[in-house]
Amino acid sequence: MFRAPDIGTEIKTSCPYCGVGCGVIAKRDANNEVSIKGDPDHPSNFGRLCSKGSALGETVGLEGRLLRPEINGQEANWDQALDLVAQKFSDTIAEHGPDSVAFYVSGQILTEDYYVANKLMKGFIGSANIDTNSRLCMASSVAGHRRAFGTDTVPGTYEDLEKTDLLILVGSNLAWCHPVLYQRIAAAKADRPDMKVVLIDPRRTMTADIADLHLAIKPDGDVALFTGLLHHLARQDAFDFDYINAHTTGFEETISAAAKLSDFETLSDITGLSSEEINAFYELFLKTDKTVTVFSQGVNQSSSGTDKVNAIINCHLATGRIGKEGMGPFSVTGQPNAMGGREVGGLANMLAAHMDIENPGHRDLVQRFWASPVIPEKQGLKAVDMFHAVGDGRIKAIWIMATNPVVSMPEADTVAKALKDCPFVVVSDVLGETDTTAYAHVKLPSADWGEKDGTVTNSERRISRQKRFLPLAGDSMPDWWQLAEVGKRMGFEDAFNYGSVSEVFAEHAALSDFENAPGAPLPERDFNIGAHAGINEEEYNDLTPFQWPQLKGFEPETSRFFAEGQFYTSDRKARLIPVEAPAPLEYTPSRPLILNTGRIRDHWHTLTRTGRSSRLSQHIAEPFVEINPEDALHFGIRDADIVQVENAHGFILVRALITKRVDQGQVFVPMHWSDQFASRARVDTLVSALVDPVSGQPALKNVPVSITKYQATTYGFAVTLNKPENPPSDYWAQAKTEDGWRIEFADLNSDLSIQSFAQNLFDVPENTLNNISQDTQWLSYGDGKFGDYRVAAFIGEKLIGLLYLSSSPVSVSRNWAIQQLGTDHNNPLQRHMIVAGRAGGDRPDPGSIICSCFGIGSNQISSAITEKSCRSVEAIGQELKAGTNCGSCRAEIKQIIDQHTPIAAE
């Protein structure tokens, strides 16, 4: 059942990162080395991959893997572990009822995993307490779709983003978060320069590179901006009344609610945009029929996220711009299988196959299909409430799969405490040590990407296979198998007796088709892949990417929804939803800044996968806070200082990055760093558990904080061959390099002993320092007046560690120092240059890495511009190859070129 394909076989699978859902071709060799390339036949990426996708082969090693089940820290076999999980869950349910247990799953697991988890919890345990980390990602889009369309349907396709005349990106940094989609759009715009792109985002992200207009909106100003747009369209008589009358309800109430935002002065106050900017945007929308509005986490991760979604959808419904080529609202998901989770009901407020848990007809249908003993009548606990219930003891047993809530949940320290106090915690993961597995009574080793089989659905409703090309590591097993085994051990043998993953998919497809046709007792449902209900294992293995719906017996005429109405409400009409702008944010003297959180280009979630790749750690290796120069001045913070960002929930320590990318009054911190990679940088410890009242999605981008300079008196930077286990300082952040590790430090203590510090870091035996042998050499330098100390240790010709300490941030070139680890050092002069921190003429400093694929740094790009007159991204590509593989760095290369371009005098 779980045999890996032969060595050397090319396997078509899909990328496990973002919601673009790119096709990947993977191949392993006899040493289990994996080569990766984009699948030219996959309709989502046509062969392209971004930096993360290209580096997938570097993330599949066994380092850090959980290879055997563990019970209370002791290795166990599967029978022992599964029996215990089944017994504990059964006992807890028997004593405290079905709502005393919960599953917290993930947009990383496959649809088949999700299907079995949802079936076990809702149909057999009898609770709806299953929720997913997708709640943190796109729950507001789901809620907005369901309010407007009656179901959770993304109407359009990626092709619409290329064929539109006006592309509006709201709260979406596609260049870094959905890079291949960004590249498709950039290519379309290069082909058709008349295509306009508007970016609506408080930050000037890399996506601004392709924007004709960037609106640096105030956080949560989106409802006002789009409601004002609706009013503007009304004033200009720009509605499509044929569409409105035939296919919508709620028009009058929605327009009259929008009238409250009729003047630009009010809009300007709420959005922070000038009247000219607002008018320019409104006129573009007014005059451009083919319009697509893309939205993602900047819209969803808000206490008004669902209203934002409906404010956007209202404008598209009222103009009839939906379901046609190049038109429509378009939600982009963050995770690879957030959509698959939605399709099987992996959210606490949904039932399987896009059905509604509060609809008695749907409950009856699903229960009959599953032949299940129970089905809950009410919604379960959504993510934030679920962990509150763990904390206050209502939930006494929880099973967490493929996610790291101790890093990613709001008030993350409270989540850690809740898990610590929970009587029974099961964690299924590929890694043994994460911030969350630390609280597990039972750890179950899961199959990693490359080892498991199943399907995922991307943001355009395209279902693709994820396929095994590696053998299972150790005793690891797929998540669906773990769940089915526990289901059987809980007494539900018949319902969970799957012989293969293809049987799970076939059942999921059959449920989507069950009583789902014109003439059936209940209204038709959007999600239908009945064409695959009878799929066998061979057909499943040959399944090529397809978009739903795929009905049994006939081909749909279009892959889009709603051009002709036919919404999934009782009267088949869409709902225009009156929405109101939320109250403006409150800045208080004690918390004068608004914290925004998000992703960076080359890392993913909590670094459990991308942190294993040295290539992906080159671009940005340390947690940081972006601060506007005015705020930095005001708070006495200089570039590269360590900064304490805090509020009532806690504090984090991160490096200051002073930039105009963020407006005054705002700061930005990436979401990725966990306790495994930094001393104190879990940014979600600062996020309060404030949620959108409709979707339950937390407001992760709108957090009042204060910042202060951390009064470090010692700063350090080191590279070492060995991973430092307990870096000995208050602040540290470490990342993998090609030949070892790099570590940044800061400490309040100015009296650190460099010798013991270095010894501890480099992991060399005691007394080696004074034991200069032929093979071992320590070189050091100290300047007490300026607090500068440096030490380098060599064994043979290899540098094993290099440490710089200083009373101010260390300014040595990181990439130059990192390269020294992998270089032979037989020249005494060179060894002294290393201690001095200076690049010799024969080893120039490449600068900070911009192109991860070819390891090209900013200094190299600058030299090509100034010395070789390379004035375009293409010219840089020809000269250095930078930007010619995955293309993820092209926006940054252009920015460097722009910085070197003289501005003409006015």
Which chain residues interact with ligand SF4 by CB under 6 A? 15, 17-18, 20-22, 45, 49-50, 52-53, 178-180
Structure tokens at 808: 């101010």
- Structural contact between residues 329 and 459, judged by C-beta atoms closer than 8 angstroms: no
DSSP 682: -
Judged by beta carbon, residue 50 or residue 637, the one nearer ligand SF4 is 50
DSSP state of 75: E
Closest CA to 622 of 673, 671, 661, 658: 673
Spatial neighbors of 528 by CB under 8 A, at least 6 apart, are 512, 513, 516, 548, 549, 550, 551
Within 8 A by CB and 6+ apart from 27, the residues are 8, 9, 10, 11, 34, 35, 469
Q: Residue 735, SS3?
A: strand
Strand partners, 38: 24
Whole-number minimum distance, CB 333 to ligand SF4, in Å?
Answer: 11
Distance of closest approach, residue 852 Cβ to ligand SF4, in angstroms: 12
CB of 26 to ligand SF4, least distance (A): 12
CB closer to ligand SF4, 349 vs 610: 610
Cβ proximity to ligand SF4, 178 vs 672, nearer residue: 178
**Closer of 92 and 335 to ligand SF4 (Cβ):** 335
Instruction: Report d(CA 849, CA 853) in Å as an integer.
Output: 10
**Assigned token pair, 196:** 């306009």
* CA nearest to 312, candidates 691, 134, 576: 576
- E strand or H helix that includes residue 367: helix 360-370
Task: Pick between residue 20 and residue 267 the one whose CB is nearest to ligand SF4.
Answer: 20
Question: For residues 21 and 202, which CB has a smaller minimum distance to ligand SF4 in the complex?
Answer: 21
Contact 66, 429 (CB under 8 A): yes
For ligand SF4, the closer CB: 134 or 685? 134
Whichever of 462 and 525 has its CB closer to ligand SF4, that residue is 462
Q: Which 3 state secondary structure label does DSSP give 793?
A: strand
| Nearer CB in complex with ligand SF4: 157/695 | 157
Shortest Cβ 39–ligand SF4 spacing (Å):
10
| Cβ-contact 439, 406 below 8 angstroms | yes
Q: How far is the CB of 23 from ligand SF4 (least distance, A)?
A: 9
When the beta carbons of 239 and 449 are compared against ligand SF4, the nearer one is: 449
Signed CA dihedral, 124, 125, 131, 132: sign only: negative
Where helices occur in 620-694 by DSSP H, the ranges are 629-634
Which CB, 21 or 883, lies closer to ligand SF4? Answer: 21
Closer of 175 and 833 to ligand SF4 (Cβ): 175
Give least dist CB 886 to ligand SF4, A: 8
| CA–CA gap between residue 511 and residue 355 (Å, rounded) | 10
CA 890 from chain centre, in angstroms, equals: 21
CB-nearer residue toward ligand SF4: 601 or 736: 601
Least distance (Å) between residue 549 CB and ligand SF4? 23
Rounded to an integer, what distance in angstroms lies between the CA atom of residue 548 and that of residue 546?
7
CB nearer ligand SF4, residue 54 or residue 118: 54
Q: How far is the CB of 848 from ligand SF4 (least distance, A)?
A: 22
Cβ-based nearer residue to ligand SF4, 837 or 887: 887
Judged by CB, which is closer to ligand SF4: 181, or 386? Answer: 181
Least distance (Å) from ligand SF4 to the CB of residue 14? 7
Closest CA to 683 of 720, 656, 707, 651: 651
- Burial classification of residue 310, based on how many CB atoms lie within 10 Å of its CB (0-12 exposed, 13-18 middle, 19 or more buried): buried
DSSP lists the bridge partners of residue 849 as 857
The structure tokens listed for 38 are 């984009």
CA-to-CA distance for 352 and 369, rounded, in angstroms? 11
Residue 533 tokens read as: 């209900």
Return the number of the residue (598 or 704) whose C-beta is nearest ligand SF4: 598
Supply the minimum distance, in Å, between the C-beta of residue 331 and ligand SF4. Answer: 16
**Are the C-beta atoms of 145 and 329 separated by less than 8 Å?**
no
Q: How far is the CB of 42 from ligand SF4 (least distance, A)?
A: 10
CB 251 within 8 A of CB 576: yes
Query: Rounded CA gap, 655 and 284, in Å?
Result: 40
**How many helices (H) does the chain have, and how many strands (E)?**
29, 34
Task: Residue 672: name the closest of 392, 334, 254 by CA.
Answer: 334
Q: With CA atoms as reference, report the closest residue to 316 among 502, 567, 542, 133.
A: 567
Q: How far is the CB of 40 from ligand SF4 (least distance, A)?
A: 14
Residue 841 Cβ vs ligand SF4, minimum distance, rounded to whole Å: 38
CA-atom Rg of the chain in angstroms: 28
The Cα 775–Cα 486 span in angstroms is 56
Residue 451 Cβ vs ligand SF4, minimum distance, rounded to whole Å: 18
Q: What is the Cα–Cα distance from 263 to 283, expressed in whole angstroms?
A: 15
The nearest distance, CB 95 to ligand SF4, in angstroms, is: 44
Shortest Cβ 736–ligand SF4 spacing (Å): 19
Which residue lies nearer to ligand SF4 by CB, 27 or 591?
27
Find out whether 408 and 684 touch, Cβ atoms under 8 Å: yes
Smallest separation, CB 50 to ligand SF4 (Å): 3
Compute the C-alpha angle 794/731/414, nearest 5°.
135
Q: How far is the CB of 147 from ligand SF4 (least distance, A)?
A: 28
φ/ψ of residue 120, rounded to 5: -65, -45
Structure tokens at 470: 């590696």
Residue 624: strand, helix, or coil: strand
Beta-bridged to residue 169, according to DSSP, are: 199, 294
> By Cβ distance, which residue is nearest to ligand SF4?
53
Q: Which two tokens stand for residue 200?
A: 């609506």
